[in-house]
Structure formats: C-alpha cells, structure tokens
Amino acid sequence: MKQKRLLIPLIIFLAIIALGFSEVFSLMRAAPPTVASPVGQVGNLPTPVGQIGNLPTPAPTATAAAPIRFSGESALKHVTTQMGFGPRPSGSEANIKTGDYIKGELTKQGWQAEFQTFIYKDVTIRNVIGKAGVGKGSQKNLKNEIWLAFFDAEDRGDLDGWEWIVGSSYMAKSLTTQPKAMILADMIGDADQQIYYDASSDPLLSKELFTLAAQLGYEKNFIPQLKYSMYDDHTPFLQRGIPSVDLIDFDYPYWHTTQDTADKLSAASLERVGRVIQAYIESR
C-alpha cells in the first residue's frame, strides 16, 4: 500500500490528463503571432514614392516565439514555497495556505482555477483544479481541454481511521464527463530518479509515455520494466474505465520519514517528468 506526498494529475478532456509536479503553471503559454505590414504602406494607403518624409519603411522581421519548456527550477521553487508553510494535514492552516497558493499561481498563469470542496470525517477537504484550452483560461488555442488536479486528503490512510486517496476518489466519482486519459505524477522529484512501469497502470499509455521519455534522452530514469503495482491516485480513475498511468519513483528511502525534505529533490528530476508530460500533451 503506498501513498504520496505531492500530487498532480492532469486531466485533459477529449484527450488527456497530465501534470508536472507543482509546476505546469507556465507550461502552455503562447506568444501572440507577429504580423508584418506590407512594405511602403501606412494603414491601407500606399505611400507616395520619392517624397521626403514618406520613404518606404522596411517591413519588420517576424520573430519566432521561443518554445515554451517545462522548467524544473520553477517547479522546485514551488515545492520549497509549499514546504515553507509547514506540515500540511487536511484542514490545517498550512494546508489552506497551500491550496490558496496553488490556486493563485494557476490563476496568475491564465488557468481557470477552482476549488472542489467536500467534507470528510468533519474536515473540509479542497481539491484544486485548473482548466485550460477549448475556451477555458487564457490558453484557449490548445487542441484539447486540460485539467490539472491537486488532490487534498491524499496520504493519510490508516491514520485516525482515514482512508487513502480521499481527494482523488471524490473527484473521480464526481466526474460528469469521461476524460480520455489521466496521468499521475507522484514522488517524481527524487534526485536519484528511477521511474519504472507500474503494473496497475494502463499498459498502452505507459508505453507511450516511456517511449516519449526515451526520445527525450531519459532512458536511464524511465525504465520500461515492471517493478511495483501501486494503489494510488490513478486507481479511482482506472476503476471508471479511464486509461490512467502512475508515474512514480517508489525507490525513495525517505518516504514517510522526517528526512523527506526538499534537499532530497532535484530540479532536473522534476523537469524530466514535466517535459515528458508536455511532449505527450503537444502530441495529441
């Protein structure tokens, strides 16, 4: 039985669900196109040739926008910010600050962000969901609708009678539409990153993601061999018939200990997973 620490599946309607660690906030921002004006024209009127003060103006050179790439450094900054709030059990002041922070960062980056609130064992639980694409948020030019979900009440199982994966189970049960896929990024920041196939995950989607990882040069970190079978936040989505994958580095000796601190993480590890998910989204 395993559970996680930070969550982030990403859901894309009509085609996906995916995430990064705590940074997908600037993943799909696109620059507006540059339009060159016709040479020698002011508005729609031709400029008289040979007149002083009306010399033809060279057309501006269109500059290709720099490609948007997932940033591991930015992701790690989000992690350390959240760590600074202190222990974050559901319903605590630090947990509320964390949820508010995530929702605020999503909103800043143009996502349509909202809380999914419910009560569990007399505690207010808040999933954070960001939506983009197909008319939602500022990234309306995306080909598919993407949801980023940050699950609350996720890793408290077997404590005080709590179940595991409470937030993700509630979200999966509450869906009114059927996403085409769900990708869970869990415990993927380990500096000594080793992500194996999860035996419980959808095999075809797993193969696609690991193939993309190999194409990006991440073969040493994404190892296409079965090692674990996880009961995790992807499980309730699998139970709904949604192809789902758990990207997880479960060979992490600090899990559920007081030594599980930010110094064990790596921006490069976060970036690898973020870029694989980005490549998957862009390929749809």
Please count the structural domains in the chain: 1
Which residue would you say has higher pLDDT here, 277 or 159? 277
Type of residue at 69: R
Beta strand extents in 6-162 (DSSP E only): 10-13, 16-17, 41-42, 45-46, 112-120, 123-132, 145-150
Q: Is residue 55 part of a domain?
A: no
Whether pTM exceeds 0.85? no
CATH at residue 93 = 3.40.630.10
Q: Is residue 127 part of a domain?
A: yes
Q: Is residue 112 part of a domain?
A: yes
pLDDT at 64: 59
In which band, very low, low, confident or very high, does the pLDDT at 159 lie, cut at 50, 70 and 90? confident
Domain that holds residue 127: 10-27+66-283
pLDDT at 42: 34
Q: Is residue 139 part of a domain?
A: yes
Q: Is residue 193 part of a domain?
A: yes
Type of residue at 254: Y
pLDDT at 133: 77
Q: Is residue 145 part of a domain?
A: yes
Beta strands 123-132 and 112-120 are: antiparallel
Which residue would you say has higher pLDDT here, 63 or 262? 262
Tokens representing residue 80 in the block: 């350390």
The backbone torsions φ and ψ at residue 105, rounded to the nearest 5 degrees and listed phi first, read -65, -40
Q: pLDDT tens, 100-112? A: 999 999 999 999 9
* Summary mean pLDDT of the chain: 81
Q: Is residue 232 part of a domain?
A: yes
From 123, 124, 131, select the one nearest 147 (Cα to Cα).
131
Beta strands 222-228 and 195-198 are: parallel
Q: Is residue 45 part of a domain?
A: no
Distances (CA, A) of 34 to 24, 30, 57, 241: 25, 12, 17, 43
